[in-house]
Structures are given as structure tokens and as C-alpha cells.
């Protein structure tokens, strides 16, 4: 009976930690690296280097010390002018409980990029932008950040930096860094 009571007390006390949740609404910048693409070999290599882009999205997480996170985002400018991206990730998150919460995260997901159709008579910049519209690909990511929780009621602030790897983006893999800042709603 004593073991049953101890187990029940443990489960009930852990349940409040496991149901702790947050929503982060963010905006930020992305910097893709160089894209390998045989079909654009006539283009100068600097055109296949990704430019800064923008992203916005939401992350929903649950758990206290060890938890999960689901991310959904849209990039109105990914790597080149005219290229857009939609992204979803599922991550594990390891964080310090409390008002000031540094964390580390890693996970997998997918990205879908698209751009205007290219025409051989278009400029080299347009052809390079079309190269970054590579369709739907698998992604792996990792990152660190800090959450400042409950600064004003349930509202707080979040800053993080994440690295993404897209294997098989054209003929090689594409790496990009994403830096974001946003508002946290905790419950």
C-alpha cells in the first residue's frame, strides 16, 4: 500500500511538470550557405550563395526539464528574392525550469521551397533564385536559446539560434542558420 501511495504522489506531482506548456510566436532572419547545383554551373558561384532571408512562425512546447516542441514557420524570402519556404519541425528540448530558462534543442522535420519558374532568357540572378526552389526536403536541426518567462503575467520573451541541414538539396546538402526573437505565452 505504501508503494502505491508513493507512486500516486509521484505521478500527480510529475503531471504538473509534464503539462507545463508554452507557445512562442517569433520572427527572425535566416542565412543559407552555398547551394551545389550542376544545372547552374554557368552561373557565377557567388550567385549560388544564399542571401539573408526572413522567417516567422510559432513553436508549441510541453514539458518542464525534458520536453518536446513543434515548430511551424513561413519564410517570405528564403535565400534569394522570390523564393519562399514553409517549414515544420518536431524537436526534443532540454531546458532549465524557472523564469530564466536556457535551453538546447534538436530534431527533424521538412522544408518546402518554391520560386518562380525560370526561363533560360532570364537573368543569372533569376536562375540562381530558381535553384533554391528545390521542393520538399527532409531537415535536421539543432539550437540553443533562452526564455525569459512570465515577465508580465503569462507573457515572456525568447531568443534563439538554430542550425539546419538539408541533405540532398540539389546535388549536395544545404546548411542555414536561423536567428529568432519572439514572445512566449506560458501556462
Measured CA to CA, the distance from residue 105 to residue 19 in angstroms comes to 19
User: Does residue 40 carry a pLDDT above 50?
Assistant: no
Classified as helix, coil or strand, 187 is coil
User: Does residue 25 carry a pLDDT above 90?
Assistant: yes
Distances in whole angstroms, Cα of residue 165 to Cα of each of 1, 37, 99, 174: 52, 16, 31, 6
Mean pLDDT of 148-163: 96
Q: Are 132 and 113 in contact (CB under 8 A)?
A: yes
Of 124, 122, 137, give the one whose Cα is nearest residue 176: 137
pLDDT of residue 146: 97
**Three-class secondary structure assignment of 163-183:** EEEEEEECCEEEEEEEEEEEE
Measured CA to CA, the distance from residue 44 to residue 30 in angstroms comes to 22
Mean pLDDT of 117-138: 75
Q: What percent of the chain has pLDDT over 70?
A: 80
Write the class of the CATH domain 17-186. mainly beta
7-21, 55-69, 115-129: least confidently modelled range = 7-21
pLDDT of residue 14: 53
19-28, 65-74, 112-121: least confidently modelled range = 112-121
- pLDDT band for 168, please (50, 70, 90 cuts): confident
User: Does residue 141 carry a pLDDT above 80?
Assistant: yes
Mean pLDDT of 96-102: 93
Amino acid at each position: 500500500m505504501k508503494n502505491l501511495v508513493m507512486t500516486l504522489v509521484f505521478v500527480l506531482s510529475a503531471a504538473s511538470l509534464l503539462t507545463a506548456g508554452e507557445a512562442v510566436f517569433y520572427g527572425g532572419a535566416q542565412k543559407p550557405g552555398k547551394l551545389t547545383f550542376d544545372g547552374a554551373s554557368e552561373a557565377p558561384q557567388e550567385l549560388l550563395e544564399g542571401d539573408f532571408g526572413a522567417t516567422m512562425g510559432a513553436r508549441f512546447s510541453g514539458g518542464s526539464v525534458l520536453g518536446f516542441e513543434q515548430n511551424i514557420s513561413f519564410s517570405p524570402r528564403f535565400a534569394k528574392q522570390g523564393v519562399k519556404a514553409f517549414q515544420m519541425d518536431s524537436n526534443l528540448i532540454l531546458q532549465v525550469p524557472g523564469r530564466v530558462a536556457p535551453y538546447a534543442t534538436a530534431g527533424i522535420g521538412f522544408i518546402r521551397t518554391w520560386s518562380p519558374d525560370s526561363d533560360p532568357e532570364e537573368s543569372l540572378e533569376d536562375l540562381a533564385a530558381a535553384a533554391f526552389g528545390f521542393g520538399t526536403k527532409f531537415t535536421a536541426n539543432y539550437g540553443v536559446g533562452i526564455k525569459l518567462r512570465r515577465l508580465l503575467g503569462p507573457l515572456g520573451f525568447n531568443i534563439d539560434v538554430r542550425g539546419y541541414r538539408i541533405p540532398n538539396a540539389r546535388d549536395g546538402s544545404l546548411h542555414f542558420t536561423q536567428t529568432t526573437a519572439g514572445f512566449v505565452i506560458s501556462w
